[in-house]
Structure 1
Amino acid sequence: MARIIAIDYGTKRTGVAVTDELQLIASGLTTVPTKDIFKFLATYLAEEKVEAMVIGEPKRMNNEASDVEEHIVRFRESVEKKHPELKIIRQDERFTSKMAFQTMIDSGIGKKKRQNKALVDQISATIILQDYLYNK
């Protein structure tokens, strides 16, 4: 089997998570400056067998798309052009940042490290991917 990669896309930083090859466990991989995400993906996809990409879908409580959605749509279109072999899946990402922050607290991560937004993005990507695995 191949891995599944998850993206928590942001205009400044993008959190990345992946599954193991059996697609059982989601693990945080890294956070990449969004301006470098395609370079990162090209390198990662050349080194690892990946069959699908789960991209977070930010929605408001009334189910409307959030402001960043227009950027995510352009990102998705670019991924589809550059990597047509990847299956693209959208996954609701409401509350993932709050869940990531709570996970950091529950894990005993100190207050100073909890301010690290890159870590929050990486954990958010992991939560998005774990939610997808749980519901597929």
Structure 2
Amino acid sequence: MARLLAIDYGLKRTGIAITDELQIIASGLTTVDTKDLLTFLKAYVSKENVELFVIGEPKQMNNKVSESEPAILAFMEKLSKSIPEIPIARVDERFTSKMAFQTMIDSGLKKQQRRNKALVDEISATIILQSYMASQS
């Protein structure tokens, strides 16, 4: 089996999460400046066996797409042209940032550490990946 890689796309920075090769555990990998995201992903998949990209789909409470969706779609087009052999799945990412923040509180991180937006993005990507994995089982 190969890894699943989740992307919590943001206009400034993007959280990345990855599974183990047996696709049992989702873990935060890193946060990348969005301008460097495609370069990072190309380098990562050249070293690791990735079978699927899972990208968060931000929606508003009324189920309409969020304002960041056009940027995500543009990125997905570039990604599918750059790495066409790896398919892309989408997962509703409503509430992932709030869930990530609550996870940080529950794990005992101090207030200063919870202000780290890069960590919130990485945890959000992990939640997106866990959500995808749960929907497949």
Identity, % of aligned pairs?
Answer: 65
1:45 and 2:50 correspond:
no
For residue 10 of structure 1, what is the aligned residue in structure 2? 10
Shift of 1:37: 0.3
In structure 2, runs of 5+ residues without a counterpart are: none
| C-alpha separation in 2, matches of 1:110 and 1:73 | 36
- Letter paired with 2:121: D
Shift of 1:11: 0.2
- Cα root mean square deviation, aligned: 0.4
| C-alpha separation in 1, matches of 2:84 and 2:35 | 21
Structure 1 residue ranges, 4+ long, deviating more than 3 angstroms after superposition: none
Shift of 1:50: 0.3
| C-alpha separation in 2, matches of 1:33 and 1:80 | 19
1:105 and 2:128 correspond:
no
Shift of 1:42: 1.0
| C-alpha separation in 2, matches of 1:75 and 1:4 | 18
For residue 36 of structure 1, what is the aligned residue in structure 2? 36
In the superposition, the TM-score normalised over structure 1's length comes to 0.99
For residue 24 of structure 1, what is the aligned residue in structure 2? 24
Secondary structure, in 3 states, of the residue corresponding to 1:70? helix
Shift of 1:39: 1.0
